[in-house]
Each structure stands twice: as structure tokens, then as C-alpha cells.
């Protein structure tokens, strides 16, 4: 089972679930943290086998753009970070392809992934929907 929390200081919970009538679904809303980074961390206490997946995809909406987000994928010893730029204030699909041939990560035992941005100049909140592996 995955555990969802804020990045950084765990005592700060700025993640809420919000119903959007326009999408007819619930989305995650992440309010700006006092920590230098604002975002969501999804961890797998017993590891997750991601070797058969091509990547991670989700939809993101930001009130201000451009917004650079980082997507970090970690095993127990190493990590990789990919940066994506959001250029629209509308819902934007974000695709992060895995390079599972890269020997630096143990794709069969992923510890966590995180989606985050720098809090200082970032928006007051972002919304994330349809977060899934493909």
C-alpha cells in the first residue's frame, strides 16, 4: 500500500482532496508549504516493482505559469530527477518516461516518488489528478 505525504517536513500537511464538479471527480490540492519545496511524496514501505512500467503520468493545474516541477524517483540507495515545465493554467498532462535500462536505480524495488516545485516563487497551490503508472 502506498503512503501519501508532503515532501520535506512531514508535520506540515497541506494536501487536501477536493471535488471538482467540472471534472466530476476528486483531485488532490497541494497548498504552498513553508518548507523550501511544495509537493507530494508517494512512498512504498515494502518497495514497489516498477520494472514493467514505461513511466508516470498525471494531470496538473497551476494558477501561475511557467512552473518548473521536479519528479523524483528513488530506490533505497539512489534517485533520478526529471524536470518538466508547465506552461498553461489549464489542466496539463505530464508524462515522465522511465529509463529502466539505467543501472543506477533498482526498478524492481522503488521506495518512493515525489512531484514538487520550489515554494519561494511558486503558486499558492496546485492540483493533481489521475496520478498513475503506465
pLDDT along the chain (134 residues), means of 10: 78 83 86 90 90 92 95 92 95 88 81 93 94 90
At residue 123, the pLDDT reads 95
- What the block records as the C-alpha cell of 102 is 539505467
Residue 104: CA atoms inside 13 Å, Cβ hemisphere, count?
Answer: 8
How far is the C-alpha of 102 from the C-alpha of 64, rounded, in Å? 34
Contact criterion met (CB below 8 Å) for 72 and 80: yes
What are the residue ranges spanned by the domains of the chain?
Answer: 3-133
Query: Residue 94: its pLDDT value, please?
Result: 97
Provide the terminal-to-terminal Cα distance of the chain, rounded to the nearest Å.
18
**What's residue 5's pLDDT?**
86
Give the pTM.
0.87
CATH superfamily, domain 3-133, is Galactose-binding lectin (2.60.120.430)
Amino acid at each position: 500500500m502506498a503512503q501519501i505525504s508532503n515532501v520535506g517536513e512531514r508535520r506540515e500537511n497541506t494536501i487536501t482532496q477536493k471535488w471538482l464538479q467540472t471534472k466530476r471527480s476528486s483531485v488532490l490540492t497541494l497548498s504552498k508549504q513553508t518548507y523550501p519545496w511544495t509537493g507530494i511524496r508517494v512512498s512504498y514501505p515494502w518497495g514497489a516493482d516498477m520494472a514493467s512500467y514505461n513511466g508516470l503520468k498525471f494531470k496538473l493545474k497551476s494558477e501561475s505559469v511557467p512552473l518548473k516541477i521536479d519528479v523524483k524517483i528513488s530506490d533505497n540507495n539512489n534517485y533520478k530527477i526529471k524536470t518538466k515545465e508547465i506552461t498553461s493554467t489549464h489542466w496539463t498532462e505530464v508524462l515522465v518516461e522511465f529509463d529502466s535500462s539505467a543501472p543506477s536505480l533498482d526498478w524492481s524495488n522503488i521506495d518512493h516518488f515525489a512531484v514538487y516545485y520550489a515554494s519561494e516563487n511558486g503558486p499558492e497551490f496546485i492540483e493533481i489528478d489521475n496520478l498513475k503508472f503506465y
